[in-house]
Structure 1
């Protein structure tokens, strides 16, 4: 196993769907999942939708300040809506980007539900055109994501549907704009994705995404037209007991022109408890062939989702949202915000 990858593999969905080439392509997927935690997927059939959505982003971000304010994230206990420049932090440093966060349809929180269930609720849309586009994109990505999870299971020599039990109710979709700024600025700081099982990212041609290898080198994830960059999120890392771990990544802010991207965070079930995860990891590890032992990776950054400090994924994820958006946390979760305040502001 190479612990210092220097490139990111492309997995061809067309070959995965073709019985005559599936076995060979599953090997490519297996290596990417075990060794890197990042990959491209191509030939998904969603190239037209990705191109259409990317083309709409400049118009969406050119909405008036009043329109953006009407759907600001501060309105939402679900951490959904618009956030402007300088309102989100990663690795305790301000990110230079603005964004719209949306959620797929789900059963919203009601009185008597666990407090962390408030993470799931209705999205805010600035107009019906955006709503229709978001719903079409989210529906397509939900279907593709489930198909991808099935292929991942097969690549790990598991039953095709064994991971379905971990899928959650509300996936999240993010439209992102990075304005040009001074060289070397942080678009998004080094992190692992804490939300969901896998993240599916559509990039424009500007670039800036980098992935950290085990030698401490930042490897460019250069844009490939029509592709999606997929990475392991902390949910999948926890479910596999760290055998398939997430990989730290960042975005370097552009210097010459805007960068636009679309991130879909596949939902993980929020009521998963540590005891369940330990059992699932034990069962999954036991089924992975011994020949793959040499490929097992240790976790370089412990997942907060398996911390004994939190009763379940939902509690850990809510804590993470408060860290990233302290203004929203202070408004809607004042007690938790006070509890985490020193950590949030350090």
Structure 2
């Protein structure tokens, strides 16, 4: 008996090389398997033992080559720090619109602040994102590795690329806990991201600190995403909930720009990841873990050995959902090239200035629109 053919559809995506398409299976949504999205205990990346750090790096390598998505546990960010950020996030988004819109990113010099409903469309082929968000770019004064005493030592070429500003804090002064909790959480995310960067270097067979200077003043940003519930239609005689191209999205299908993203998600779920076969998988919430996914720049510098995977969010939980992403990359003033090439392969990508890379990705998003 012949195998049943699964219907497919075409997904359009932005890339630095223009619009690309992926073939997506119209098969039922399922949970990602541990073999696809493993849980990696990263406690040993903080170990004084190089062997123990390398053992974690090998697990990271396997996950990076497979799906480019994995969970991490024992990551070192205190639970109360995350909980405070989560509670402050809800307090902000549950305010009336007149109060929230005072921090509108459109009035900020560098785009830090609040984005209201119906103002974001990450993938226009999937409609407007059903979400609100609040974001803040890297600010060295909140970086424990820089500190106030180190601000005067920041090179001018670095300062030229910084996009921090006081505007979001001035416009949310009615909720001082928002700034306090975000700044503390940002500091923890910075420390974790630097440790993971060293782990990724080891995973590539490179000297552990090879990227240290490139992330001394990183291109990083911190976000709060607030997703109201959306409705999923029941289809077919069985009434089973099916995924459908015409359904609303909480955030549209995309890949991330930079090296990697660290994501905290609440217990309600909604994150979906597209595997190599073109099937959407649920990246369900797992208590006491964070999700790490690789970005386009990581795939580029590894000559496509590591994978930047398409993902999206659809909040069908019936409840408000929160996610807190931390986006991480080399400083915009830095230049980077392919750092590893497999035997028998040629280097696929030219050297690129990180500022130029981000510009290309943004232009690709605009082209998609």
The TM tier, using the shorter chain, reads: 0.7 to 0.9
Give the Å deviation of 1:180. Answer: 0.9
Give the Å deviation of 1:76. Answer: 2.1
Q: Which has the higher helix share?
A: 1
- Within 2, Cα distance between the matches of 1:322 and 1:85? 23
Give the Å deviation of 1:257. Answer: 0.5
Runs of 4+ displaced beyond 6 Å = none
| Structure with bigger gyration radius | 2
Q: Unaligned stretches of 5+ in structure 2?
A: 1-31, 142-150, 233-246
- Within 2, Cα distance between the matches of 1:22 and 1:269? 25
The 5 A counterparts of 1:107-126 are: 120-122=163-165, 124-125=168-169, 126=172
Give the Å deviation of 1:238. Answer: 2.3
Determine whether 1:285 maps to 2:340: yes
Among residues 138, 148, 172, which one is paired with 2:196 in the alignment?
148
Determine whether 1:174 maps to 2:223: yes
- Greater CA deviation, 16-25 or 229-238? 16-25
- Within 2, Cα distance between the matches of 1:76 and 1:322? 21
Give the Å deviation of 1:270. Answer: 1.5
- Within 2, Cα distance between the matches of 1:24 and 1:228? 19
The 5 A counterparts of 1:221-300 are: 221-273=283-335, 276-277=336-337, 281=338, 284-286=339-341
Determine whether 1:12 maps to 2:44: no
Determine whether 1:34 maps to 2:65: yes
**Structure 1 length normalisation: TM-score?**
0.76
Q: 2:230–2:250: 8 Å Cα contact kept in structure 1? A: no
Q: 1:78–1:118: 8 Å Cα contact kept in structure 2? A: no
Count of matched residue positions in the alignment of Structure 1 and Structure 2: 296
Are residues 242 and 344 of structure 1, via their aligned partners in 2, closer, same or farther at CA, if it must alter by over 3 Å? closer
Determine whether 1:69 maps to 2:110: no
Are residues 53 and 236 of structure 1, via their aligned partners in 2, closer, same or farther at CA, if it must alter by over 3 Å? same
Are residues 74 and 318 of structure 1, via their aligned partners in 2, closer, same or farther at CA, if it must alter by over 3 Å? farther
- Greater CA deviation, 205-214 or 69-78? 69-78
Instruction: Deviation per CA, 1:257-278: give whole Å up to 9, x if none.
Output: 11101000113222345xx42x
Q: Unaligned stretches of 5+ in structure 1?
A: 300-305, 325-339
Q: 1:209–1:221: 8 Å Cα contact kept in structure 2? A: yes
- Within 1, Cα distance between the matches of 2:268 and 2:363? 30
Give the Å deviation of 1:321. Answer: 4.8
Q: 1:106–1:170: 8 Å Cα contact kept in structure 2? A: no
Give the Å deviation of 1:67. Answer: 2.7
- Within 1, Cα distance between the matches of 2:108 and 2:211? 30
Aligned to 2:355: 314
**Structure 2 length normalisation: TM-score?**
0.71
- Within 2, Cα distance between the matches of 1:307 and 1:177? 38
Give the Å deviation of 1:323. Answer: 7.1
Aligned to 2:121: 89
SS at match of 1:229: strand
SS at match of 1:171: strand
